[in-house]
Amino acid sequence: MTETGRVAGAPGGVPLRVVSYNVHSQRDDQAALAAVVRAAAPDVVIVQEAPRRFRWRQKCASLAESFGLVVAAGGLPSLGNLLLTNLRVRVADTRCQRYPLTPGRHMRGAAYAECRVGGTRFLLAGSHLSTDPAERPAQAAAFKRELAAADLPVVAAADLNEGPDGPAWATVGAGLTDAAVAADRADRLTYSCADPRRRIDAVFVDPRITVVDYDVVDTPQARRASDHFPVVVDLLLPAAG
């Protein structure tokens, strides 16, 4: 991967670098967190466990600034899902979603932003599903309905709290490309930093989008920054016709 957030030599498509990152409610080394994201030089970051409580707007803006990005959508309205972009990406419309609440459980949701790079439009989406396997299928179905209804190419990321063999993963990924599989990197584990055993963080893209490269950043700095490793994906969006 290049250091510029662009794919070198990208004929026939529009390059986009995506980071998906569960930031563990910023409970770890925040300086390391910012450094890891800045080093990746992303165009967009899809965040799970972003600020969602007291002064959440200011806290989300501060997190974005630490990454060198701006807030596109999310925070409290999407229950901790946050979409961040650089100034190369224009945001036309946003919305948030909350999944039905199971009594006694944490609420979950998703964030969506209709974006444009040059003349190319796409839907950016992020979610974080429950740790309870009984809740995840309905949440996955709700997320999938929004993705399936989009008339734009979809770039979606989520902490699914289950691996590729799980039913929620299958629901969200149906008809989409698993970026790790496309790049032959499905063996790269994302959780936990202390004892990596599972791939529970996924990036799914529309089949019209080309996966150029995929990486899971496992460095000493990343292990201090969160309990999840960040996923970095280089994409080629279809050029506007």
- pLDDT digits 0-9 by tens, 55-112: 999 999 999 999 999 999 999 999 999 999 999 999 999 999 999 876 656 789 999 9
| Residue 6 is assigned to a structural domain of this protein | no
Residues 13-64: pLDDT tens digits?
Answer: 999 999 999 999 999 999 999 999 999 999 999 999 999 999 999 999 999 9
Range of the domain at 112: 14-227
The three-point CA angle 140-183-28 to 5° equals: 60
| Residue 238 is assigned to a structural domain of this protein | no
Q: How many C-beta neighbours within 10 Å does residue 12 have?
A: 8
| Residue 42 is assigned to a structural domain of this protein | yes
| Residue 239 is assigned to a structural domain of this protein | no
Identify the band that residue 215 occupies on the pLDDT scale cut at 50, 70 and 90: very high
Q: DSSP character for 184?
A: T
* Residue 203: CATH number of its domain: 3.60.10.10
| Residue 20 is assigned to a structural domain of this protein | yes
The three-point CA angle 40-158-196 to 5° equals: 70
| Residue 19 is assigned to a structural domain of this protein | yes
| Residue 241 is assigned to a structural domain of this protein | no
